[in-house]
């Protein structure tokens, strides 16, 4: 398995469990991502993501997306896409 850096966590909304990501690469629903930081280290599959409260299937470099996360993330955490 390999990982490719595709962005960073910009903000975390604890009450709703959503992370705002700044993308440097392409992210699609169904992708497995790895959140990695000083206190963060977990993988999860992207079930859905939103831009401006609209659900989208894919986003590319420069986009800011919101995704539901299963655990706490922190601003500055790296986000990697995991590939086989």
**Averaged in consecutive runs of 10 residues, what is the pLDDT profile of the chain (84 residues)?**
96 97 97 98 97 96 97 98 92
The architecture of the domain spanning 2-83 is Beta Barrel (2.40)
pLDDT score for 37: 98
Asked whether the CA dihedral 25, 31, 32, 35 is positive or negative, the reply is: positive
Q: How many residues does the chain have?
A: 84
Three-state SS for 54?
A: strand
pLDDT score for 84: 82
Domains of the chain by residue range: 2-83
């Amino acid at each position: 398995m390999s990982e490719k850096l595709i962005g960073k966590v910009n903000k975390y909304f604890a009450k709703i469990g959503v992370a705002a990501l700044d993308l440097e690469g392409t992210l699609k629903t169904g992708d497995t991502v790895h959140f990695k930081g000083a206190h963060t280290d977990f993988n999860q599959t992207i079930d859905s993501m939103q831009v401006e409260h609209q659900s989208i299937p894919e986003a590319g470099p420069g986009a800011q997306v919101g995704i539901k996360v299963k655990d706490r993330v922190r601003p500055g955490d790296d986000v990697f896409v995991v590939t086989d």
